[in-house]
Amino acid sequence: MNKLKIAFSLAFKSIIKGNRWAALMIVVLMALSFANLILTPSIMSGVTKSLDTQQINTIFGNIIIAPQQGNTYLDNIDQIEQKLAQYPGVTGVAPHLADSALIEYQMAQSGMAASGSWSVTGIDPVKESSVTTISKSLIAGSYLSPTDTDAILLGVEIAGGLQAQNAPFLTLGGVQVGDTVRLTYSNGIQKEYVVKGVFQAKDVQADSQAFVTQDEMASVLGGASFASRASQILVRIDDDSRENQFIAAFKTLGIAGEVRSWRDYGSGVGGVVSSFNVVASLIGGIGLVVAGIVMFVVIYINAVHKKRQIGILRAIGIKNGTILISFVAQALLYATLGIILGGLVFGLGIQPYFAAHPIDLSIGSVSLAVSATTIRDAVIGILLAAVLAGIIPVVSITRQNIIKAIWGN
């Protein structure tokens, strides 16, 4: 106990009374290493979180009620919607009635025609607004009204034009609001619609959607019997992190349909997210190794600088273990101060900055997503690196002959 006290006392005095600039430099290096260990995974997490949010906001909502196996449609959707809407925490319920259609467009000026097959979804414009953000993503024209029958809303990847990411031959080549497009549905019915609005949700999958009103789609598919049917019902909840709880609860409501998470449908993005997580882990690992090496070099130089002092302490009978603990404690103190400083820099500087100035990527605005796991891993990583950086040089010096240590041979 006494020897531990001496070791910690030597470590503390060494920091307090030692070279303050050197100590400051070590702490700043550790702080930057720590901030870096959090920053990179946080950016990656921010990207994946942004991708997730995009999928939820623009395509799926949080939970999807799909027809049971073997069925194409959900029936009696009013009852289902009512059950879902009444559940505490549900903020929106929107039925989708979908079909595929060939969409054709003839350019007025050039006379050139463009066409392609896309999914077209019948929506209740009001209910849809409570689940997805399509209504807020218009770049031209206006949103659908519940009474619209000859109007269509096109995603920018269908409409085409300069803002589309897809190549022009994969789009309609630049449909403008007010233009007319002709749809041939899967049942052979053809209808012409005026393009009422073009939206861009910054997600290629979302922007490849086309919307008409639910009533219009019902009339195309078969009239009155389709008024109470839906291909799926999207549900939005107030807390994304509680999706599984809501799914479990919905399964007990006796709904005649499959209750699924949006993730079951967003598998393509899931792959991207997994890839990002792998990249984030790799970068984080490299960051930790770099931080460890930096700390090792700094502490090694510090220990080598005190080689003679270590030799003299050994000569007067101070045991190697006590000297070792002293240097490890010193390294841990530096690391702790670095973690505190790095945490302050990150929490009070970097994170608020990115919150106020998100990175504008094609997938949307990305700010930092810091998780407790990331912080925990960074803290453990820095402390472990400090322990190793403290142990290795001192062990090598304490194994040396005392005379050599004192005389610097």
Partner 1 sequence: MISTSKLCKTYGRGATATHALKGIDLAVRPGEFVAIMGRSGSGKSTLLHLLGLLDKPSSGEIYLSGQNVASFSEKQRAEFRLKRLGYVFQEYSLVPELNLLENVSLPASFLGLQNSRQCRESAFELLSRVGLEQRAQHYPAEASGGEQQRAAIARALVNHPGILFADEPTASLDVASARTILELFRQLNRELEQTIVMVTHEPEDRKYVDRVVWLSDGRVEIDEEQTGLVSSTVLTGN
Q: Tokens 């959707």 label which residue? A: 77
Smallest distance from partner 1 to CB 299, Å: 16
What is the footprint of partner 1 within residues 367-406 (CB under 8 A)? 401-403, 406
Beta strands 151-155 and 190-199 are parallel
What is the footprint of partner 1 within residues 292-311 (CB under 8 A)? 308-309
**Does 272 participate in binding partner 1 (rule CB under 8 A)?**
no
Q: For partner 1, which is the closer residue by CB, 312 or 395? A: 312
Among 4, 16, 24, 113, binds partner 1 (CB under 8 A): 16
Q: For partner 1, which is the closer residue by CB, 6 or 227? A: 6
Q: For partner 1, which is the closer residue by CB, 88 or 317? A: 317
Do 291 and 40 touch, CB atoms closer than 8 A?
A: no
Q: Is 400 helix (H, G, I), strand (E, B) or coil?
A: coil
Length of the chain: 409
Q: For partner 1, which is the closer residue by CB, 236 or 314? A: 314
Phi, psi of 280 (to 5 degrees): -60, -40
Q: For partner 1, which is the closer residue by CB, 12 or 87? A: 12
- 223: Cβ contacts below 8 Å, ≥ 6 apart: none
The C-alpha atoms of residue 295 and residue 301 are separated, in whole angstroms, by 10
Measured over the CA atoms of residue 171, residue 275, residue 372 and residue 35, the dihedral's sign is: negative
Smallest distance from partner 1 to CB 32, Å: 26
Smallest distance from partner 1 to CB 18, Å: 6
Phi, psi of 139 (to 5 degrees): -110, -10
What is the footprint of partner 1 within residues 311-370 (CB under 8 A)? 312-320, 322
Smallest distance from partner 1 to CB 360, Å: 51
**Segment interacting with partner 1, rule: CB under 8 A, options 15-23, 130-138, 224-232, 357-365:** 15-23
Q: How many CB atoms lie within 10 A of CB 125?
A: 20
Give which of 226, 261, 258 is closest to 68, Cα–Cα.
Answer: 258
Q: For partner 1, which is the closer residue by CB, 7 or 152? A: 7
How many residues interact with partner 1 (rule CB under 8 A)?
Answer: 25
What token pair was written down for 345? 């820099």
Smallest distance from partner 1 to CB 379, Å: 28
Q: What is the dihedral of CA 292, 296, 302, 305, to 10 degrees?
A: -170
Q: For partner 1, which is the closer residue by CB, 290 or 406? A: 406
What token pair was written down for 356? 């106020």
Positions in the binding site for partner 1 (CB under 8 A): 2-3, 6, 10, 13-14, 16-18, 308-309, 312-320, 322, 401-403, 406
